[in-house]
Structure 1
């Protein structure tokens, strides 16, 4: 019965450690997600800056897995290049050694049980007393996470100490340390935390359950096993996400294999350089040493690694979404950036839909060298476009955006964050209205395109003019000009003038007895539709 108690305590300690790591990651992601996104976007212009970003952010987040998944999300949202993400992955392997140092210096050289209770107590009380929208709730949550990690570590350490006293562990040891590398790999792949696996190795080494050589090989195995997180995170993403995961795999496996080939030499180097350090400190040193050597080996070849991975994962999938499909809602600050880019994608599709409907090539919408009348006179032929399918894709894209925004809203209680979401949803609403207006006009536009009377032809040209002018004005205003709203106000007034001009043309249509009576009704409806389209675009601009 005593034997079972020891293993239950060990298992419970591991559970506390893992939960503490997970809880800490979630709290840091919530409180520092925006800072990480800003840091990455400002510090990934060169390979060296990206490497430092990987080191620093992993040290802060206390998890290379979190940084790897965030890097994958940024690549998926096309907010970061493939080369920069690979450099960050390399840096994260050095940054993750900080956890082993914290565990070695604090976890085994201090009696931390009482300290853990105090930290958990302060953090827990702080969370209870903080409002759901306060950032302090996340900060107190970070304290709880750290407390749980060290409490779990203390539990593992005590259970391993008991097992070492009551069992002859030599009966379960391997003759070669390389088997421990496989155990470290398998355990890390299973529990999705190299930090937890290394803490287990340090606990076993501290209590003399395993020797230093076995612990060193175990740690190398954990480095290879941590690639599973990136591989899982890349599933279903764009090609670059898979390429980052492949680069991560190549780097960690090659570094691990080289470290195992020169295992005894590296151990001798650590023992020679730090003869008086205890075992758990030496493991932290060993962990840091072979990761730095791996980065030194691969850093000059980041461009080569990028080129190599680009040879793979060429996919020609016709996805409706372009950005949000590649970013998990669990990384909220990156997710909202992906959402913004997806809405820009929707805006582009709606504008293309409108331009194709009036027979203007979308690429010519901002042609500064041609007046609108000349553009309309030049492009008069109808495009061979299946408008129903185009509109159906727009509807599907709208639906996916709504679903993604709803999921983001459900997992975030921050008031400021949800205000941003609400503004983005309003923008989608206006775009949905604009697309529906054009879709409802398709039959009428086709009729007027084939019209023979000059009154109908004039009305058709006037409708085309209003739509094209509105899109041109919107795109110029959205560039970031401080006076963009005022400029759009003036454009909207000019469109209102064109609206009055349309009413005069409609009177001419009504007077012409050779034109069917229902054409007058069509013209009136189209006139209101164009105004509704213009109003939707104007409202979008006001939101930005």
Structure 2
């Protein structure tokens, strides 16, 4: 055999060039269309057919089913997609990946790209000098596209020719004449190659070249394609190993979906191949059983038809597949993290803008619902349960006369300070390392503003809280009554915010918050007539008067800050952002 070590290295190098071209092209397309694609994916509806269309379009555009499935796994990890939605997107991605096979078949075998590939590299290289980021990405896409076909040409040339190396045919004939066992063997080879190379497109290219060179017949090439469908699921499963149970479920669903498809195809394997042969003959092509040159088209057609039929058979069983996966991967109760440890900020979420923003929003809302809500209500000597109850605020204030002895500083240090710092750090990292759109950058800025407002509300409440406790059961009924009014004002705002974020029809609560915010703005730094009256009539002493005047400002600051946080996290945020983003 004349095929030596140098030839093997040339074959590996050709494959490497093909993969590099595929990566450069895919990465450039991701940068060109990734934001829009991810935006569509993050906001998609639960309609399974729309999910299939989304998966198909994303994979067709970015030319990488692995990138699509990794995106889906990441989105599942961040709870942006449900399991059923993830399954439908992956179904569409399986169809989308067949576009690559047709690209290789038509331009790599039917059209000679070798003559124009190098000029294309030069043409694309010129674009990379552009100061416009979009033009640079287009340049990289053109270079990647050309390198892919240069690599494919090298692959065809580096693959040993059976005419010059008859030993290969003798070696392969031992395994190609075993009937159904040969089908299973080459299915396994296709799976193994895809797992090793980590690219079903590269394995498809190798399969097509092996067919064109006469190494393997049509049916064994089809078996390798089935193996590639199984092998391509490994990427997502490897990525899900470090994800949560939702990510693992999505990856397992991908594996189960492709395995089910392979199983029914093995049962109908030979009739299906005859069906593909009939279609190719109707299209004017030779039979793949007769002419090896016709196999690439037949294999691409087989790949496409299999994935389309498999998808439209199993699309009706998305929910049963989801339930099956849920049994295989039960929901895992996360170990309770330390009180000052973030619950949702995960380095993996910094892979995409959408997952980073989702994590930031969840962490901020969790901090607000638990720590901030508790600290503010307890500082007013009111239990959270009473705020969230249906009991009238007036009665809540009247019965809440026990000093809860809330140490605001201690609670801030133990429940807020560290998490607040981690949120700001995570947000700043996202803004500096991710390619955020202007809208996404503004979203992250809004989250930072919301967190800053929460900390400010604690500081305002801290000042107020000391005097609330001091005068809670004062012998002076006038000062007690004034501080009960302050407590009532804060409690009312907390309750409306609670209803605003929990009720589905919350327009009325939003309107009430706007009215309370305007009222608080008008009252800041203004002494009320009631306080003036109490001072004039000597119903309160000088110390009480000073406290009341200061705390009138504090309560209005607290109210305004809490409402602005609620707006940023749960409602209309534009006006808040405009007023605050510049002062970060």
The normalised TM-score by structure 1 is: 0.83
Residues 1:531 and 1:53: Cα distance change in structure 2 (over 3 Å) = same
Q: CA deviation at 1:525?
A: 7.6
The equivalent position to 1:199 in structure 2, one of 205, 218, 233, is 205
Residue equivalent to 1:490: 518
Residue equivalent to 1:315: 332
The answer to whether the 8 A contact 1:76-1:326 is kept is no
Structure label with greater radius of gyration: 2
Q: CA deviation at 1:178?
A: 2.2
Residue equivalent to 2:321: 305
Q: Aligned runs of 1:385-404 on 2, under 5 Å?
A: 392-404=414-426
Question: Is residue 343 of structure 1 aligned with residue 377 of structure 2?
Answer: no
Residue equivalent to 2:143: 144
Q: CA deviation at 1:164?
A: 6.9
Q: Aligned runs of 1:54-453 on 2, under 5 Å?
A: 54-131=55-132, 134-160=133-159, 165-166=164-165, 168-170=167-169, 172-173=171-172, 175=175, 176-275=182-281, 276=286, 278-311=294-327, 312-317=329-334, 318=336, 321=342, 323-325=344-346, 328-353=349-374, 354-360=376-382, 362=384, 372-377=393-398, 379=400, 392-412=414-434, 416=438, 417-435=440-458, 438=461
Residue equivalent to 2:179: none
Q: CA deviation at 1:298?
A: 1.9
1:88-144 CA distance string (max 9 Å, x none): 11222122111111111112111112433333333332232133xx43433433333
1:227-249 CA distance string (max 9 Å, x none): 22222332343432222222112
Residues 1:290 and 1:477: Cα distance change in structure 2 (over 3 Å) = closer
Residues 1:222 and 1:397: Cα distance change in structure 2 (over 3 Å) = farther
Helix, strand or coil at the partner of 2:4: helix
Question: Is residue 33 of structure 1 aligned with residue 54 of structure 2?
Answer: no
Aligned-partner Cα distance in 2 for 1:535–1:521:
22
Aligned-partner Cα distance in 1 for 2:499–2:462:
25
Q: CA deviation at 1:255?
A: 1.8
Helix, strand or coil at the partner of 2:241: coil
1:242-277 CA distance string (max 9 Å, x none): 222221121112222333344334333323432416
The answer to whether the 8 A contact 2:497-2:513 is kept is no
Aligned-partner Cα distance in 2 for 1:31–1:265:
42
Residues 1:141 and 1:83: Cα distance change in structure 2 (over 3 Å) = same
Q: CA deviation at 1:286?
A: 1.6
| Cα-Cα RMSD | 4.1
Residue equivalent to 2:581: none
1:444-465 CA distance string (max 9 Å, x none): 6655557665466445424423
1:313-369 CA distance string (max 9 Å, x none): 3222135555553963222244334434443443334542323443545576587x7
Q: CA deviation at 1:215?
A: 2.0
Q: CA deviation at 1:473?
A: 6.6
Aligned-partner Cα distance in 1 for 2:198–2:563:
49
Residues 1:447 and 1:222: Cα distance change in structure 2 (over 3 Å) = farther
The answer to whether the 8 A contact 1:477-1:484 is kept is no
The normalised TM-score by structure 2 is: 0.78
The answer to whether the 8 A contact 1:33-1:333 is kept is no
Instruction: State how many pairs are aligned.
Output: 538
1:292-315 CA distance string (max 9 Å, x none): 332233222111122233343322
Q: CA deviation at 1:51?
A: 1.9
Residue equivalent to 1:12: 13
The answer to whether the 8 A contact 2:233-2:255 is kept is yes
Q: CA deviation at 1:191?
A: 3.1
Helix, strand or coil at the partner of 1:274: helix
Moved more, 83-92 or 33-42: 33-42
1:466-485 CA distance string (max 9 Å, x none): 43345467678996899899
Residues 1:399 and 1:149: Cα distance change in structure 2 (over 3 Å) = farther
Q: CA deviation at 1:405?
A: 2.1
Residues 1:217 and 1:483: Cα distance change in structure 2 (over 3 Å) = same
Question: Is residue 21 of structure 1 aligned with residue 44 of structure 2?
Answer: no
The answer to whether the 8 A contact 2:524-2:552 is kept is no
The answer to whether the 8 A contact 1:126-1:137 is kept is yes
Aligned-partner Cα distance in 2 for 1:385–1:245:
47
Residues 1:22 and 1:379: Cα distance change in structure 2 (over 3 Å) = farther
Aligned-partner Cα distance in 1 for 2:216–2:162:
12
Which is bigger in relative contact order (C-alpha 8 A, separation at least 6)? Answer: 1
The answer to whether the 8 A contact 1:180-1:214 is kept is yes
1:64-92 CA distance string (max 9 Å, x none): 22222222233333333221221111222
Q: CA deviation at 1:381?
A: 5.7
Helix, strand or coil at the partner of 1:79: coil
Aligned-partner Cα distance in 2 for 1:271–1:399:
64
Aligned-partner Cα distance in 1 for 2:449–2:351:
23
Moved more, 201-210 or 154-163: 154-163
Q: CA deviation at 1:40?
A: 3.1
Aligned-partner Cα distance in 1 for 2:357–2:125:
29
Structure 2 unaligned regions, length at least 5: 176-181, 289-293, 568-575, 579-584
Residues 1:222 and 1:371: Cα distance change in structure 2 (over 3 Å) = same
The answer to whether the 8 A contact 1:77-1:326 is kept is no
